[in-house]
Amino acid sequence: MVESYPIKQVIDDQGNVVDASNKDLINEELVLRAYFHMYRIRTFDKKAKSLQRQGRIGTYPPFEGQEAAQVGSALALGEDDWLFPTYRDHGAMLTFGADMTRTFLYWNGRLEGCVPPEGKHIFPAAVPIATQILHATGASWAEKRKGTKNIAIAYFGDGATSEGDFHEGLNFASVFQTPTIFFNQNNGYAISVPFERQMNSKTIAQKGVAYEMPSVRVDGNDFFAVFFEMQKAVERARSGGGPTLIEAVTWRTGAHTTADDPTKYRAEGLGQDVVDPIIRLERFMKNAGFWNEDVVTKAHLEIEEEIEAAVKAMESYPKANVEDLFNHVFAELPDQLQEQKDAYLHLLGGK
């Protein structure tokens, strides 16, 4: 089966173009956009880890190593599409237009972190595993019913494919031919459990066969491979061709979360041969003549300033409003909940 799903690649680890036919599709604008976003979310991720260590945000799940997969997929989406992320997909969310201050706020335990910018369809990160796969199917089904060309993407990891909701989501999408992209980041581990223990199949892409669904396996650390395969899937979904399953093979460089110690379950040195996706892109840029020191330096500065400003805004954000504990459970508070709220606010006011 694995032979039927070769890993699609556009650039290799050394940054050389593997297939010359792709060369024409790569232009400076795309390369710089890719680099900017990958560097931006990498810097965000590093900052978040550092803030967690300093006790300035809560537990955080890093996505380092998965930047090509997240940026390559998110950049292929259109303005009005829907994005259903997991807790490890804040890189994709930021690339698609999530607000950075609010993203930090989310990891600081704030509801504000789940509210997307006005007009942007970004769902709050799913914390249960695979549940969002059904939401993406439903939301894209709604778009199809409305007669738009908008689509939805569901992000999920390798572990999620063991959940029932993964199969139920793919089945619904297949039966109703919804414009949905199921974007898997196979990063090798679900917390401590390796791919080989998660499933006996050798690929995730092959699971599409059961649902008569086009599926493809891409090098998830190759921005261009991800981006081009995403474009095909997006085009298929928009033109009424139904859902696609994409397996982006990548590697979780770090821990599951800042509360996790991977040395307990991952042999030392494992994954060291994986070339970092940003290094790979840099090599390509240098090989292909897209590297411009001034542009890159300027981008780095811009990103660092943006992140510093976002951290500052997060830390100077008004304190969580205790009324928000009650206010959004229902459109209108039932009497008994209103009483609980009033009594608690009265207690606080009496202090």
Partner 1 sequence: MTTKMTDTKIATKNITLIQAINDGMKIVLERDETTLILGEDVGKNGGVFRATDGLQEVFGEDRVIDTPLSESGIIGTSIGLAVNGFKPIAEIQFMGFIYPAYDQIMTHASRIRMRTMGRYSVPMVIRAPYGAGVRAPEIHSDSAEALFTHMPGIKVVCPATPYDAKGLLIAAVEDPDPVLFMEPMHNYRSFREEVPIDYYTVEIGKGKKRMEGEDVTLITWGAMVPVVEKAANQMKQHGISCEVIDLRTLYPVDERIIAESVQKTGRAVVIHEAAKTGGLGNDIVSIINDTSFLYLKAPVERVTGFDVPVPFSSLENHYLPTVERIVKGIEKVTNF
Q: Which residues bind partner 1 (CB under 8 A)?
A: 82, 111-112, 114-116, 123-124, 127-128, 131, 133-143, 145-146, 152, 164-165, 168-169, 171-172, 175, 324, 327-332, 334-337
Q: Which residues pair with 189 in a beta bridge?
A: 194
* Options 90, 217, 252, 283, the catalytic residue: 252
In whole angstroms, what is the distance from residue 160 CA to residue 84 CA? 14
Q: Which residue, 107 or 123, is less far from partner 1 as judged by CB?
A: 123
Active site residue 265: yes
Q: How far is the CB of 137 from partner 1 (least distance, A)?
A: 5
Task: Please calculate the CA angle 98-70-157 and round it to the nearest 5 degrees.
Answer: 110
Smallest distance from the beta carbon of 209 to partner 1, in angstroms?
17
Catalytic site residue 42? no
| Rounded alpha-carbon distances, angstroms, from residue 272 to 46, 65, 255, 256, 297 | 19, 11, 14, 17, 27
Q: Which is nearer to partner 1, 13 or 112 (CB)?
A: 112
Q: Minimum CB separation from partner 1 for residue 159, in Å?
A: 15
Active-site residue identified among 88, 217, 256, 280? 256
- Of 270, 134, 126, nearest to 195 by C-alpha is 270
Q: Provide the β-strand partners of residue 194.
A: 189
Q: Compute the distance between CA of residue 116 and CA of residue 98 in angstroms, rounded to an integer.
A: 6
Nearest to 236 by CA among 218, 222, 206, 215: 215
Closest CB 335 distance from partner 1, rounded Å:
6
Least distance CB 136 / partner 1 (angstroms) = 6
CB 197 within 8 A of CB 189: no
* β-sheet bridge partners, residue 154: 84, 182
Residue nearer to partner 1 on the CB measure, 169 or 277: 169
**Residue 256 annotated among the catalytic residues of the structure:** yes
| CA 254 to centroid of chain Cα atoms | 16
| Contact call for residues 159 and 198 (beta carbons, < 8 A) | yes
Which CB, 64 or 81, lies closer to partner 1? 81
* Minimum separation from the CB atom of position 219 to partner 1 (A): 30
Burial class (CB in 10 A: 0-12, 13-18, 19+), 9: middle
- Integer Cα distance of 84 and 123 in angstroms: 5
Nearer to partner 1, 9 or 340 (CB): 340
- The single residue of 56, 135, 167, 265 carrying the catalytic annotation is 265
Q: Closest CB to partner 1 among 40 and 144?
A: 144
* Token pair listed for 4: 């039927």
For residues 107 and 56, the answer to whether their CB atoms sit within 8 Å is: no
Catalytic residues: 252, 256, 265
